[in-house]
Amino acid sequence: MKTILARIISGSMLVGALGYSFFFLPPALFSLLLLLILGTILVVEWPRVGSTRLTPWYPIFPFLLLILANQTNTQRSLVLVIFVLAMSFDTGAYIIGSLFGRHKLAPSISPKKTWEGVIGGCLFSLCSLTLPPLATMQLTSQLQALSIVLIGDAAALFGDLFISLLKRKSGIKDCGTSIPGHGGFLDRFDSILFVAPALLAIFAIL
């Protein structure tokens, strides 16, 4: 119970900090927040789990993409979509998987992940597109919206499994302790690190 409560409180604080800095502060300050999170990951968390061969693109490259997109008025909405889709997928997968999860997704990599959780994550992320201000983006068609959600969800799931694989190889449960109930920033941003390049590439094509 304490772990669940800590997860709710710390997760809400993180979302609140990100949301406040994105909507109410200058874009440069949101980029600075992302840069500080990246610095914490690289200095504190990455040495526990990472390989120097992965460092140029994981996690540096996705964060740089987010920071660059955040500086452009036309692309700031894409940054919002990336965060909302990734976090809603993670939230849905956790809630539905915890309540109804029966069929293991990849037990050798992450024993707690289930197919029911994946379905829950997809439903949560799909519903997130109906929330303001995402609903005001006026995507050209329902097919485009569905494609974005499916690609984003696939990237989020792959990001979850990828960090789980790295942690299993390193023999650790969490990357850090910065966010009680979640682990470290790398544990919380694992999906975003894959969703960011995937969706930015898709939006560049559309």
How does pLDDT run across 169-203, given as a tens digit for each residue? 888 988 988 888 788 999 999 999 999 999 999 88
C-alpha to C-alpha distance for 44 and 52, rounded to whole angstroms: 14
| Best CA proximity match to 50, nearest among 157, 159, 182, 167 | 167
Cβ contact 44:176 at 8 Å: yes
- Does residue 138 surpass a pLDDT of 80? no
Share of the chain above pLDDT 90, in %: 59
Give the chain's mean pLDDT: 88
pLDDT band for 139, please (50, 70, 90 cuts).
low
pLDDT at 126 (0 to 100): 86
Domain boundaries, the chain: 2-205
Q: 183: left (phi > 0), else alpha (psi -120 to 50), else beta?
A: left
pLDDT at 128 (0 to 100): 82
The model carries a pTM of: 0.91
- Does residue 18 surpass a pLDDT of 90? yes
Three-class SS of residue 184?
A: coil
Which sign, positive or negative, has the C-alpha torsion 175, 81, 4, 114?
negative
- Token digits for 140? 């050209």
Tens of pLDDT, residue by residue over 35-86, are: 999 999 999 999 988 777 888 889 999 999 999 999 988 788 889 989 999 9
Residues 6+ apart with CB under 8 A from 173: 167, 183
- Does residue 122 surpass a pLDDT of 80? yes
* Choice between 181 and 120, residue whose per-residue pLDDT is larger: 120
Cβ contact 86:126 at 8 Å: no
Cβ contact 187:179 at 8 Å: yes
- The DSSP line for 136-165 is GG--S-HHHHHHHHHHHHHHHHHHHHHHHH
C-alpha to C-alpha distance for 84 and 112, rounded to whole angstroms: 23
C-alpha to C-alpha distance for 128 and 135, rounded to whole angstroms: 9
The Cβ-side half-sphere exposure at 92, using a 13 Å CA radius, reads 23
Q: 113: left (phi > 0), else alpha (psi -120 to 50), else beta?
A: beta
Cβ contact 82:198 at 8 Å: no
C-alpha to C-alpha distance for 52 and 205, rounded to whole angstroms: 31
- Does residue 132 surpass a pLDDT of 80? no
